[in-house]
Every structure is written in structure tokens, then in C-alpha cells.
Amino acid sequence: MVLHAARLLEVDTGKMLAPGEILVEGERIRAVGTSIEHPAGAKIIDLGDATLLPGLIDAHVHLFLHPGAEDLQTVEESVPWRTILAEQAAKADLMAGFTAERDMGTEGAGSADTAVRNAIHAGIIPGPRLRISGNAIDILGGHEDANRFNPAQGVLSNADRANDAEQIIEVMREQHKEGSDFAKIYETGPDRMVDGVLHTSYQYTEAQLAAAVAEAQRMGTTVGVHAQDEPGTLYAAEAGVASIDHATQLSDETMRLMKQKGIFAVPTFVIFEYFAQHSTSKELAAREAAIVTYKIAEFQKQIAFGIPFAVGSDVGPFPHGTQAREMTLMVKYGMTPLAVLQADLLNGAKLLGWANKIGQLKPGFYADVVAVPGNPLEDISVVERVKESKTACNEHKCVTTSQNFW
């Protein structure tokens, strides 16, 4: 099959080829250029005034969440029902152009994401290639514990509980046994604004996180943390985690370590925007808006410092398939379109452990390809309109909103 479009982006160089063509054989890209060989009998798909990009990567998703009261849905909905919804979420994300994702916790569904990942890999259901964590890891009374429910009812935490390094390692081993690809740890708790400054409590010490990182390395995996501010973000950087997700407040020392160690910040702007726009009261809306304002200012400091970024949306509490807006917001708040695309595709591939397999349109890479209308280097928001070009390919097939190409 040959894909032809007006443009094709070389992500690593930033060069835009015009026109652009890709020869796909099986699950791999065989040739890329402005004019390539068209083998006899090859199907040629002309996508017109579009730009060919590698499949998009979301480094922070929650397939097992949907809009609505998160604390109630995880209690009221059965794990089988949530797994069915997760399958639908994976399909929605793929159809929006996301061909690889990192699922950052099932929020109480245990290792059910193992089944979703395996079913996608086997070609049973459509969806992005996945890295999964199973449940996240949290302390007693921590970020994801059932803190506001009747204690007599024994409502379970949405995460796996671990209070010290020994328990963290034990939980990680159990999760790995059940199929996890990495560990997601809640390093900071509930956040609040005090006199215009973000405050959260840390949940694990640097030594405890370092033990988790060492165990992950032993198993050949990584650790990603939910961490909003200091000192939790510093402890995570000192420990050498793979990513600091949300990363709203980072000290100069934390940023120095992140830059030195290649630790990715994953800002997740769109979830903060969504909460600010969909709060249940004026007070909550004002609180969320204040966090967004603070986050923007801190993000601009992070850009100036030169820390590495990956792109993750925290989709789940807002509708799956709409998360490409994260890239639009990252440009709006200070990055260039090319820098955001490189953060998403090059850094995202590294973070997921597929640096030589996805994230670029090069011979030998997986044929994860999307087409967007127009030129994303001129208007990054076109990545929100992948469906208009009706192309999303992964190793199983190229799918469209109306037909299968393969």
C-alpha cells in the first residue's frame, strides 16, 4: 500500500517533505520520500491536502475512566463493565490518531488493563499499542484512597497500597506478575492553592522512590510518578524516575536533575482546563482556574530551563478521543509546534520504550501513520482533526471512520 499526501513531516529534522509518500508492507514502513516506487498491484491512497505524521502518542491516559464522578464510578461499576468501557475508550483514542499510549492506572480495576492490552496486540479489538501499569501505587490515606466514604463500609482504594519501600517492591512484583509494563506511583497528595502558590504533601521519600526505581530496573521496566510540586517532584527526580506527570511546580534543582537524567515532564494541561470548565460550583471553578494560571507560568519557566517534555493528557475524566487538544495547549502556552510534535513523537516513543519502532516515519518502523488536514507546523490544532483525513494505521490494519484499508 502507498499513502500519498501533500506533505510528510520528518519529525527528527523538522523538515517537511512535499509531497510525501509512504510504502507500507505488512506491519512496517518500507520506503519514505517525495516520490517512491509503487510496486505492481499496490493500493494507492491519495489523501490530498494533508500531512502524514507518525501515529500520535499519549503518555498519560486512563482507559478505565470516563466523564463523571470518578470516586463513584470506581465503586458503583463492576470491573467487567469498566473493561468493556475501556475497550471502547481504546478504540476512540485510536480513531483520533493515537496509536500508542501509556495507561497510568486502572483506578481500582487491578490488572484488567492486561486483558485490554493483550486483546489489542492479538488483533481481537482495535486500539493503540499499550504500556500498562495495572493499579497505581499509593499510601494509606493517600491520593487515591477512599478517604471520604463511611469507614464502616470498607470501601477499597483505587490504587494498590504500599507504605514503605518493602511494600512498594512487593506490590510492584505482584503487578509485574499480573502483566504490568511499568509502575505508576502517586508521589503527591491532594493539592491546594495558598496565597497564589501550589501546595501538596509528598507521599514517599527519595529513598523509597529510589527503591522502586531499582526494582523496576531489575525487572527491565520503569517508574512514572504523579507529582505536582515540591518536595515530591525533587524526590522523584533524585530517585531517577522515567517521568514526572503533571509536574506543575519544579524547583531549579529538580529541573537541573531532570535535564541531566533525561526525566520527562508530562504537563497534562487539558485535564486542568477541563476541570476548570466543568466544575460543580463557582468556588471549585475559581480554584481550578487559579491552578491553571499558576501552571502556565511555571510551564514557561520549565521551557526556558530546557527540561525534556513528553505529551500526556490524563484523558478519561474527559472524553476519550479528544485529547489531542493537549498539544494545542502546549503551543498556546509557549512551545513551538515542532517542539511539541517532537516531544510527543520522539520523547513519547522513548518514554514508552519503543524509540526505534514508533514515533518516526522511517523504513523499518511500524506503520503507525496518521494524516491531518493542512500543515501542523503552521497550525498545531489540526492534530485535533485526524478523523477528517480518515487515516489511522497500526500494526494490525489501517482503519477509517467508514472502512478498512487493509
C-alpha closest to that of 53 among 95, 91, 22, 89: 22
d(CA 352, CA 349): 5
CB atoms within 10 A of CB 304: 10
* Selected residue with higher pLDDT from 6 and 406: 6
Is residue 251 within 8 A of residue 234, CB to CB? The reply is yes
Q: Which helix (H) or strand (E) holds 23?
A: strand 20-25
Confidence band, pLDDT 50/70/90 cuts, at residue 71? confident
User: Degrees (nearest 5) of the Cα angle 348, 74, 98?
Assistant: 25
- pLDDT tens for each residue of 175-195: 999 999 999 999 999 888 998
As a whole number, mean pLDDT of residues 275-283 equals 90
Confidence band, pLDDT 50/70/90 cuts, at residue 226? very high
User: Does the structure show a pLDDT above 90 at 336?
Assistant: yes
The answer as to CATH 3.20.20.140 being correct for domain 56-352 is yes
- The number of residues making up the chain comes to 406
Q: What is the pLDDT of residue 377?
A: 98
Question: Quick one: 2-54+359-399 is in which CATH superfamily?
Answer: Urease, subunit C, domain 1 (2.30.40.10)
Average pLDDT across the chain, whole number: 94
Q: What is the pLDDT of residue 388?
A: 60
C-alpha closest to that of 346 among 100, 47, 75: 100
Q: What is the pLDDT of residue 395?
A: 59
Alpha-helix runs per DSSP H in 146-231? 165-177, 206-219
- pLDDT tens for each residue of 282-333: 888 999 999 999 999 999 999 999 999 999 999 999 999 999 999 999 999 9
Q: What is the pLDDT of residue 156?
A: 85
Q: Which three cell numbers stand for residue 199?
A: 501546595
Q: Which three cell numbers stand for residue 347?
A: 520523547
d(CA 395, CA 29): 10
SS3 12: coil
Of the candidate ranges 33-37, 70-74, 192-196, 278-282, the one whose mean pLDDT is the lowest: 70-74
User: Does the structure show a pLDDT above 70 at 134?
Assistant: yes
SS3 217: helix
- pLDDT tens for each residue of 365-377: 999 999 999 999 9
What proportions of the chain, in percent to the nearest 5, are helix, strand and coil?
35, 20, 40
Of the candidate ranges 199-208, 270-279, 291-300, 392-401, the one whose mean pLDDT is the lowest: 392-401
- pLDDT tens for each residue of 100-131: 999 999 999 999 999 999 999 999 999 999 99
Q: What is the pLDDT of residue 36?
A: 95
Residues near 23 by beta carbon (within 8 Å), at least 6 away in sequence? 1, 2, 29, 30, 31, 32, 36, 37, 38, 39, 42
Q: What is the pLDDT of residue 402?
A: 39
Q: Where in the chain is the domain with CATH 2.30.40.10?
A: 2-54+359-399
User: Degrees (nearest 5) of the Cα angle 183, 237, 315?
Assistant: 50
Q: Where in the chain is the domain with CATH 3.20.20.140?
A: 56-352
Report which DSSP code applies to 313: -
Q: What is the pLDDT of residue 16?
A: 98
C-alpha closest to that of 94 among 353, 404, 362, 370: 370
Confidence band, pLDDT 50/70/90 cuts, at residue 390? low
Confidence band, pLDDT 50/70/90 cuts, at residue 400? very low
> Left (φ > 0), alpha (ψ -120 to 50) or beta: where does 337 sit?
alpha
> Phi and psi at residue 56, in whole multiples of 5°?
-70, 155
Residue 145 CA neighbour count, 13 Å, CB half = 16
User: Does the structure show a pLDDT above 70 at 340?
Assistant: yes
Confidence band, pLDDT 50/70/90 cuts, at residue 399? low
